[in-house]
Amino acid sequence: MFRIKAQQMPSLTETLLLVFTFLVIMSSSIILFDAPPHIPIVITILLLIIYGLLKKIPYKELEYGITEGAKAGMGAVILFFFIGILIAAWMLGGTIPTLIYAGFNLVTPSFYFAIVFIVSSIVGICVGSSLTTVGTVGLAFIGISGAIDVSLAITAGAIVSGAFFGDKMSPLSDTTNMASSILNVDLFDHIKNMGWTTIPAFVISFILFGILSPKITATDFGKMEVFQQGLLETGLVQWYNGVIPIVVLLIFSIIKAPALLALAAGSVSAIGLSFINEVRPPGELFGIIFGGFVSNTGVEEIDSLLTRGGMDSMFFTIGLVLLALSMGGLLFTLGIIPRLLASVENLLKKVSSVIVSSALTAVGINVLVGEQYLSILLTTETFQSQYKKVGLGNLNLSRVAEDAGTVVNPLVPWSVCGVFIAGVLGVSVVEYLPFTFFCLLCPLLTMFFGITGKTLTYLETDNEDLVSLGNVKKVEENKSVRSVNI
Contact 133, 96 (CB under 8 A): no
pLDDT, position 164: 94
Return per-residue pLDDT of the chain as tens, 486 residues: 556 788 888 999 999 999 889 888 877 887 788 788 789 889 999 999 999 999 999 999 999 999 988 887 777 788 778 878 988 898 899 888 887 788 777 777 778 899 999 989 988 887 777 877 886 678 778 867 775 778 999 999 999 999 999 889 988 888 888 888 888 888 889 999 999 999 999 999 999 999 998 876 655 566 667 777 888 888 888 889 888 988 887 788 678 777 788 889 989 999 999 998 888 888 999 999 999 999 887 777 788 778 878 899 888 878 877 887 788 889 889 988 788 777 776 677 788 889 998 999 889 888 776 678 878 887 887 788 888 888 888 999 999 999 999 899 899 877 778 877 887 788 888 899 999 999 999 999 999 999 998 888 887 644 444 444 434 333 333 333 333 333
**Distance between CA atoms of 374 and 397, rounded to whole angstroms?**
15
pLDDT, position 45: 93
Domain boundaries in the chain?
1-345
Dihedral of the CA atoms 245, 246, 252, 258 (nearest 10)?
A: 90
- DSSP per-residue letters across 287-351: HHHHH-B---SS-HHHHHHH-B-SGGGGHHHHHHHHHHHHHHHHHHHTTHHHHHHHHHGGG--SH
H/E stretch holding 458: strand 457-459
pLDDT, position 483: 34
**Distance between CA atoms of 89 and 292, rounded to whole angstroms?**
8
pLDDT, position 26: 79
Contact 37, 45 (CB under 8 A): no
Other beta carbons less than 10 A from residue 469's beta carbon: 17
pLDDT, position 463: 42
pLDDT, position 484: 36
Contact 167, 129 (CB under 8 A): yes
H/E stretch holding 386: helix 372-389
Query: If you ran DSSP here, which 8-state letter would residue 312 be given?
Result: G
Contacts of 313 (CB under 8 A, 6+ apart): 84, 87, 292
Q: Could you read off the pLDDT of 300-353 as tens digits, one per residue?
A: 778 877 887 889 988 887 887 788 778 888 988 998 878 877 777 667 778 888
H helices present in 32-151, as ranges = 38-54, 59-71, 74-92, 95-104, 112-127, 130-133, 139-148
pLDDT, position 83: 77
Q: Could you read off the pLDDT of 127-162 as tens digits, one per residue?
A: 777 877 886 678 778 867 775 778 999 999 999 999
* β-bridge partners, 481: 460
pLDDT, position 2: 53
Other beta carbons less than 10 A from residue 444's beta carbon: 14
H/E stretch holding 22: helix 12-31
**Parallel, antiparallel, or unpaired for β 457-459 and 466-468?**
antiparallel
Query: If you ran DSSP here, which 8-state letter would residue 471 be given?
Result: G
pLDDT, position 462: 42
Contacts of 444 (CB under 8 A, 6+ apart): none
Contact 328, 374 (CB under 8 A): no
**Distance between CA atoms of 266 and 249, rounded to whole angstroms?**
5
